[in-house]
Structure 1
């Protein structure tokens, strides 16, 4: 860890300060896109940020394709881009994997959050190395996943007040042998401010 990096602290090894909202087993099957899975779940003031999802195949290949997006939730008061340092806040991540090869994809997804300072300030990575967030891939499911990452109050402190941070969310697939696959999703989220 460099001097310019500040890692998110976790509550304990088992919990990792993350709550699994859904691992893909019971989300409704949308008609055409992942976007419809978020309708009715999020309050109307919550912004959805689409991302880029890559597989070894061209986009929308019938063999394997995906979609990813994320949203930031704080104490429920708009806007969700200004977060009080004394409040817990959350990143909801929605992704899908579809195609004829989807039932053959067995392994796990690794979720990471990154906050990059826009100017002076430390970089944040969550969770810290060795405490990764994993979600088991479900090749027998509908291909839709939803996960909520809780960032505990005080992770970003008052000394970071006024520094804008760019949120980046990544979801990377690891195969059954623990090797990173060529399936990944990245969301460039909003600029966040902490007060």
Structure 2
């Protein structure tokens, strides 16, 4: 069975490499083509805005979840299929996890890393059981992934992280999962 809804965690900025924006737009287009609902942070700026706009331009469904604190700061996207304003960041993350079948981590900052590690931790604690894709555009996450390997080899992780983490170098690699292969 394919993925019906995908939580996308990414930056509220575009980053320095134009490929970040290009890959993000490609991902949104693929999601729309495969009828996969976007669940994301609800912003209209940076990579967040790029993925939402690409999904919507392709005729797809885009669902945003944004805390009140960030609704104005990140300029919440007014053209979404659905936008839910929640009281805080913890509620935002929990709601996004509940609404998705899997998650994908795109380039981003502290918030993106927080969401990535919380999702991994919740997998480990059996709070949920969802695959996490890491789009490693231009090796953005290579050092972090090497550190995760180190944590595992040094005995600090309870299970092999690669059972739930799939590393991709391009959005097109996600296509097989969206199709259900």
> Normalized against structure 2, the TM-score is what?
0.22
More strand by share: 1
Tell which has more relative contact order, 1 or 2 (C-alpha 8 A, sep 6+).
1
More helix by share: 2
